[in-house]
Amino acid sequence: MWVTDAAERLAAEEADLVAQIAAEDIEAPVAELYRRYGKRLFRFGVQALGDHGLAEEIVQETFVRLWRTAGRFDAEKASVGTYLYVIARSVAADIRKRPSSRPLRPVEDLDVPAQPDGTDRILDSLIVREALESLTTSHAQVLQLTQEEGLTQSQIAERLGVPLGTVKTRMFHGMRAMRAALGERGFHAV
């Protein structure tokens, strides 16, 4: 696990946002935490339950429960991000138990199949996606072409119409940027 000073500053900042919510100042801190975690929580919901509507419900209910328990949040025990995922996992479990939580669309229509719990694995995959999205297009592109399509460097060069040396350079800097982006997000290296 890579822990940076930036991550520690972020944790303190987010703990302060939760304290604001506990003090009933809702709109701005919830908006800020949504900006930081909303997409990730939504993607967690889609992966956990396989449905966009239920994923939206997870996001909304997670923040409602955050507000309800904000006064009891202890930054010494967990980061806000971890706390939100503990809540989201609990919400997902509640939705699974609900009679109406059956898939709302035929399985073949779903973009993403519902995953068994495996929360840690889901969270890691969400962080990887976010880190990938934080890279420049040219860096992300070469990494994705090799990982998703299995292309070699010369095949990537041909596909993009750039010199092989350019692909090598982009791949190197892309990997460095990816490593830094994962570290900033507290990724647990496998």
Using CB under 8 A as the criterion, which residues of the chain lie in contact with another protein when the complex forms? 24, 26-27, 30-31, 34-35, 38-39, 42-43, 46-47, 52-57, 59-61, 63-64, 66-68, 100, 102, 104-105, 109, 111-112, 121-122, 124-126, 128-129, 132-133, 143, 146-147, 151-154, 156, 168-169, 171-172, 174-176, 178-179, 182, 187, 189-190
Burial profile 74-99: b = 16 or more Cβ within 10 angstroms, e = fewer: eeeeebbbebbbebbbebbeebeeee
Q: Which is nearer to another protein, 76 or 140 (CB)?
A: 140
Q: What is the DSSP string of 135-189?
A: S-HHHHHHHHHHHHS---HHHHHHHHT--HHHHHHHHHHHHHHHHHHHHHTT---
**Spatial CA neighbour of 43 closest among 75, 4, 95, 88:** 88
Compare residues 11 and 126 and give the one whose CB is closer to another protein. 126
Shortest Å, Cβ 70 to another protein: 10
Q: Which is nearer to another protein, 76 or 142 (CB)?
A: 142
In the complex, the smallest distance separating the C-beta of residue 94 from another protein, rounded to whole angstroms, is 13
Residue 69's closest CA among 56, 86, 54?
A: 86
Grouping H, G, I as helix, E, B as strand and the rest as coil, residue 74 is: coil
7/104 with CB nearer another protein: 104
Smallest distance from the beta carbon of 72 to another protein, in angstroms? 15
Q: Are 36 and 69 in contact (CB under 8 A)?
A: no
Smallest gap, in angstroms, from Cβ of residue 11 to another protein? 21
Minimal distance, residue 9 CB to another protein, in Å: 21
